[in-house]
Amino acid sequence: MSETNILLESGTNELEIVEFYLDEKRGQKDYRGYYGINVAKVLEILQMPDLTDMPEVSHPAVLGAFNLRDEIIPLIDLVGWLKKERLESEPPKVIVTEFNRTKSAFLVSGVTRIHRINWQEVEAPTGYVSSLTVNSITGVVKFPNRILFILDMEKITADLNPDAAPIEEPTEALKQEIQERQTNVLVVDDSNMARKMISGILEKAGFHVHPVENGGVALEYLRSLQAKSRQTGKPLSNYLDIVVSDIEMPIMDGHSLTRNIKEDTELRELPVVLCSSIITETLHHKGIAVGADDQVSKAELNELVGRVVSLVKRHATA
């Protein structure tokens, strides 16, 4: 796909989503469901390629692989992953993606258009809806004639690759240093899976973690800490040392959260680490533009603890 202006802007709390649909068989009545994926994750959209079977695939939704400019890309049937029966209503489309430094392709029934919207228009799914969809939905967008679900693509690929390399634990010396510092971390991520994973990594290392589900909730929490700091006369650093935030989130994204922090005279010294699957060479400049102190791809979570410790130490001695 060609680069659009959204890639050149920072902190606008806007995103572009590719809308696609899945046709499935449901008894006597066929059904078309509408879904979305962030343009930042989409490389291109193709016709169905020639596939090569993959030996011993981990999930029946993995249909095989194809060669795209000398790269072998696995193809995942989204209807199959959702445990539905695909309806062959028209020639399908393939959405080629890149996130977490990995390229994958997803088979869909068709692609409609690109929508440019504000993250405030993306509703977080309720706990009940999340549980019914096995936590596979991170956002809901309501249009006049249909509802569009934003799928948790990271969860899908993680479920398809359960044998991924485990996260390495920090050394005992580093754990001891973290525990002695009593470092408080605000973790912000809309994906239940990612939020638990990142919080778990930091907690195992000895950090005190406060997890929240989006930038809007995070900013409210920061405002409450500001009020507490004023009431007690103690510095904000007594209550929070660092923020680790995803980028793609309903209500308020990580870039907008970072911009709000860095434009606030009381919060601006608070270090912010953006931790996202869409941190790439193409989008890295957006984090810099809003003042992020560091950026870590979710494909590099082994580096997160060390980089958080480094930032906290740097700000403590500044």
Q: Reduce the DSSP state of residue 55 to 3 states and report it.
A: coil
pLDDT digits 0-9 by tens, 143-174 = 999 999 998 888 888 887 766 666 777 777 77
The C-alpha atoms of residue 172 and residue 110 are separated, in whole angstroms, by 51
Amino acid at 265: T
Rounded to whole angstroms, the Cα distance separating 11 from 245 reads 14
Least confident span in 43-47, 170-174, 241-245: 170-174
Range 236-249 average pLDDT: 95
The predicted pLDDT at position 8 comes to 45
> 256: Cβ–Cβ under 8 A, 6 or more apart, which residues?
11, 12, 13, 119, 215, 290
Higher pLDDT: 9 or 250? It is 250
Q: Are 287 and 183 in contact (CB under 8 A)?
A: no
In this structure, are 127 and 197 located in the same domain?
no
3-state secondary structure (DSSP) of residue 132:
helix
Query: What confidence tens digit (pLDDT) does each residue in 73-117 have?
Result: 999 999 988 888 888 888 999 999 999 888 999 999 999 999 999
The residue with tokens 């922090």 is 261
- The CATH number given to whatever domain includes residue 216 is 3.40.50.2300
Q: Place 4 in a pLDDT band, splitting at 50, 70 and 90.
A: very low
pLDDT per position as a tens digit, 204-225: 999 999 999 999 999 999 999 9
Q: Rounded to two decimals, what is the model's pTM?
A: 0.87
From 160, 194, 228, the end of a domain falls on 160
203's tokens: 């907690």
In sequence order, the 6+-apart residues with CB closer than 8 A to the CB of 166 are none
Q: Are residues 221 and 94 located together in one domain of the fold?
A: no
Spatial CA neighbour of 292 closest among 239, 249, 252, 244: 244
Q: Helix, strand or coil for residue 19?
A: strand
Does any domain span residue 149?
A: yes
In a domain, 259, yes or no: yes
The whole-angstrom separation of Cα 159 and Cα 60 is 12
Question: Do 195 and 288 sit in the same domain of this protein?
Answer: yes
Does 128 score more than 70 pLDDT? no
Q: What torsion, rounded to 10 degrees, do the Cα atoms 173, 175, 178, 183 define?
A: 180
**Same structural domain for residues 179 and 294?**
yes
For residue 276, pLDDT beyond 50? yes
Q: Are residues 181 and 156 in the same domain?
A: no
Residue 295 lies in a domain: yes
Say yes or no to pLDDT of 58 above 90: no
User: What range does the domain containing 239 cover?
Assistant: 172-317
What number is the average pLDDT over the span 171-192?
Answer: 86
End of a domain among 137, 160, 183? 160
Same domain, 49 and 111: yes
Higher pLDDT, 284 or 42: 42
Residues 113 and 185 in one domain: no
CATH code, domain with 46: 2.40.50.180
